[in-house]
């Protein structure tokens, strides 16, 4: 067991405590989601995106990131949430997916959260017709429930990967 509890460590140094995993948490609408911190390359303020014709609605286009052309996915659109105007809190989370880099547009970044094994639940069975393949589980911290996302599944351009929203 680690004598240093890192659950309050909010730095993005990628260090993971022995008793859990670190996730970058962010907001979409009124819900909180998390992705593995080790997959996050950087967080950028929203900047110019060049649209790509004939691409799916959730692909907003591409941006130039230090000479690399990076595709940008709006997770609100991907998750079938109502679109909203981008504001000063809107950010692009740049992530690595295998050898590729992509950006995820989210409403706001919340925190870096250390989640112990006892705070993680398996993905719930929501019944037939509800796609949960994009989820790795649910983190419970205090009264908060955070949906942990499988970035590899989200990175797919296949529309069948887009999760269904339960009303």
Structure confidence by residue, pLDDT tens digits, 75-122? 999 988 998 999 999 999 999 998 899 999 999 999 998 888 787 777
Instruction: Select the CATH number that applies to the domain covering 20-155 from these four: 3.40.50.1820, 3.40.50.2300, 2.40.50.180, 3.20.20.10.
Output: 2.40.50.180
Q: What is the pLDDT of residue 126?
A: 64
Of 140 and 123, the structure prediction assigns the larger pLDDT to 140
Q: Which residues contact 103 (CB under 8 A, 6 or more apart)?
A: 44, 63, 65, 70, 71, 72, 73, 92, 93, 94, 95
Beta strands (DSSP E) in the chain are: 20-28, 31-36, 40-45, 59-65, 68-74, 91-97, 100-106, 108-116, 120-121, 135-141, 144-149
Q: Of the ranges 13-22, 94-103, 133-142, 152-161, which is most confident?
A: 94-103
Domain coordinates of the chain in residue numbers? 20-155
| Chain-centroid distance, C-alpha 74 | 11
Task: DSSP for 112-139, please give it.
Answer: EEEEEGGGEEPPP---TT---TTEEEEE
List b or e across 59-92, with b for residues whose CB sees 16 or more CB atoms inside 10 angstroms.
bbbbbebeeeebbbbbbbbbbebeeeeeeeebbb
With pLDDT > 70 as the criterion, what percentage of the chain qualifies? 74
Q: What is the pLDDT of residue 77?
A: 92
């Amino acid at each position: 067991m680690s004598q240093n509890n890192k659950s309050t460590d909010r730095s993005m140094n990628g260090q993971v405590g022995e008793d859990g995993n670190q996730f970058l948490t962010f907001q979409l609408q009124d819900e909180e989601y998390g992705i593995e911190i080790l997959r996050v390359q950087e967080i950028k303020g929203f900047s110019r995106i060049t649209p790509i014709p004939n691409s799916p609605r959730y692909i907003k286009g591409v941006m130039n990131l230090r000479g690399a052309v990076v595709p940008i996915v709006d997770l609100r659109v991907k998750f079938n949430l109502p679109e909203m105007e981008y504001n000063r809190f809107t950010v692009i989370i740049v992530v690595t997916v295998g050898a590729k880099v992509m950006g995820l547009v989210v409403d706001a970044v919340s925190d870096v959260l250390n989640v112990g094994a006892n705070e993680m639940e398996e993905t719930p069975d929501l019944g037939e017709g509800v796609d949960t393949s994009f989820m790795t589980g649910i983190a419970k911290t205090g009264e908060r429930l955070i949906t942990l996302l499988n970035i590899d599944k989200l990175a797919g351009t296949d529309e069948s990967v887009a999760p269904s929203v339960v009303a």
